[in-house]
Amino acid sequence: MSFAALKKNSNSSFEKLTRELEKVANSEKGSNDDRFWKPELDKSSNGYAVIRFLPAPDGEDLPWAKVFSHAFQGPGGWYIENSLTTINKSDPIGELNRQLWNSGVDSDKEIARKQKRKLSYYSNIYVVRDPLHPENEGKVFLYKYGKKIHDKIIGAMQPEFEDETPINPFDFWQGADFKLKIKKVAGYWNYDSSEFAPASTLGNFEDSELESIYSKTHSLSAFTDVSNFKTYEDLEKRLNAVLNSKPQSPRVDPETFEDESEGRGNAPEWASSSGDFNAPDITRSAVKEPVREEVTPRESVGDDEDALSFFANLAEFDD
């Protein structure tokens, strides 16, 4: 976007971002957000759909938003919050986990694993085929997915073998449809069979139709806007309450924080809504005075490699 266009559209851009923020907030409160598409399993416990990942929205640099969050239960209830490490700030649970991990005690490391960050991505998609809900076909949605599917995307861009041609999955003309294939393995959704089709223009559409599809994409930057994150002090207060309060029955549906794209068709045992939970034995002193050090997302337990720089250099996204 040129500087002149940026100045001309400043008011409308702010209004659009505000609307998107309101939708994100409503979604996090449990409201039904019809912007999102979710895969489903059929009666045989298999799932199949064909989707197309879309380019970065107008005025944004990347075709995804990357968000870290925590979801675990302590004696004082559930801790379900976005992590400040998403926006490169210190986060109290990240600092506590780092202390536990570096203690050299195996039981502390196990606690840190249970409290580690969860990584989620958000992208715009076009639904090519959805057998269980054909009414979704031909529409643009937001799609929340995890590292496993993200690895499929990176694998298509940076193939392992020299006889494989790299593709940009987010390109209208030289990208490829993504065949989502889901199987249940040991109670979890498994995406290993999912794959990209050969490169082709989306739907063999003319540019005018592709432009119409592009105009329907949703803002992704809204998911990483600072307004979606509580302050360090508020998170620390909540963390102390969760780890130190008397046990109470959780009032949270695990589905509100389970990442379906990571294959969790059922909530794991530790997230049971029955309230049966062996809470970690963490003393108040271990939580009350966390070390206030600046940490980046790469410093927390269970980090994943960041491929954002690869996308930032793609010329296709500048168009």
pLDDT (tens digit per residue) in 109-156? 999 999 999 999 999 999 999 999 999 999 999 999 999 999 999 999
Q: What's the burial of 42, exposed, middle or buried (CB within 10 Å: 0-12/13-18/19+)?
A: exposed
Which residue would you say has higher pLDDT here, 263 or 24?
A: 24
Confirm whether 318 is domain-assigned. Answer: no
Q: Answer whether residue 273 shows pLDDT above 80.
A: no
Residue 16 lies in a domain: no
Whole-number Å distance between alpha carbons of 179 and 196: 6
308 in any annotated domain: yes
Q: Is 0.95 surpassed by the pTM of this model? A: no
Distance (Å, whole) CA 175 – CA 168: 5
Domain presence at residue 82? yes
Does a structural domain hold residue 25? Answer: no
Q: What are the φ and ψ backbone dihedral angles of 280, each rounded to 5 degrees?
A: -65, 140
Q: Is there a domain that residue 10 lies in?
A: no
- Cβ(100)–Cβ(309) under 8 Å? no
- Decide if 190 contacts 184 (C-beta within 8 A): yes
Is the pLDDT at 270 greater than 50? The verdict is no
Residue 23 in domain: no
Is 22 part of a structural domain of the chain? no
- C-alpha span between 292 and 35 (Å, rounded): 38
Intra-chain end-to-end CA distance of the chain, in Å: 9
Please, which residues have CB within 8 angstroms of residue 56's CB and are 6 or more apart in sequence?
62, 63, 170, 220, 317
DSSP strand pairing (195-196 vs 188-190)? unpaired
Cβ–Cβ < 8 Å for 128, 51: yes
- Domain extent at residue 111: 34-313
* CA–CA gap between residue 203 and residue 76 (Å, rounded): 51
Q: Give residue 255's pLDDT band: very low, low, confident or very high (50, 70, 90).
A: very low
- CATH number for the domain harbouring residue 266: 3.90.198.10
> How many domains, the chain?
1
